[in-house]
A = this chain, B = another copy of it.
């Protein structure tokens, strides 16, 4: 997960001056925001839940491994890949890279909701997720 080649989808976030904290490095909370930027771009562009059909997802668990300190100014590249599909949830892995270095890796467990209630993943969505998993 610290290797760029692991990921299938990419987006970029901007490091803000206010993302740093009193240590002069990017704060761990800002890293959670970068992970969200990547995860939501992956959701919109690859997972493509059908809002018109009442489909949505909710973040149930987030874990982040902080691997290197990062700094302002600059940008962070965020790689994403689907790594697990369960009965009612799926897991997106994220890799954050800065100038070639992996600064953090993360996993987000998303629970699938149909009309705002947890529901089994089936039909076109399951097919799409299985395909993303195999890529």
Contact = CB atoms under 8 A, between A and B. Distances in A.
Interface string A36-66: 1100110010000000000000111111111
A17 B32 contact: no
B72 A61 contact: no
A29 interface: yes
A61 B63 CA distance: 7
Contact of A17 (B22, B63, B64, B66): B22
A21 interface: yes
B37 A16 contact: yes
A15 to B, nearest CB: 9
A33 interface: yes
A27 to B, nearest CB: 5
Given A14-B14, A29-B32, A41-B73, 12 more contacts: A17-B22, A17-B36, A18-B29, A21-B21, A22-B72, A28-B32, A29-B33, A44-B73, A61-B63, A61-B64, A61-B65, A62-B64
Interface of A: 12-14, 16-18, 20-22, 24, 27-30, 32-33, 36-37, 40-41, 44, 58-66, 72-73
26 contacts: A12-B14, A13-B14, A13-B16, A14-B14, A14-B37, A16-B33, A16-B37, A17-B21, A17-B27, A17-B36, A17-B40, A18-B29, A18-B33, A21-B22, A22-B72, A28-B62, A29-B36, A32-B62, A40-B73, A60-B65, A60-B66, A61-B65, A61-B66, A62-B63, A62-B64, A63-B64
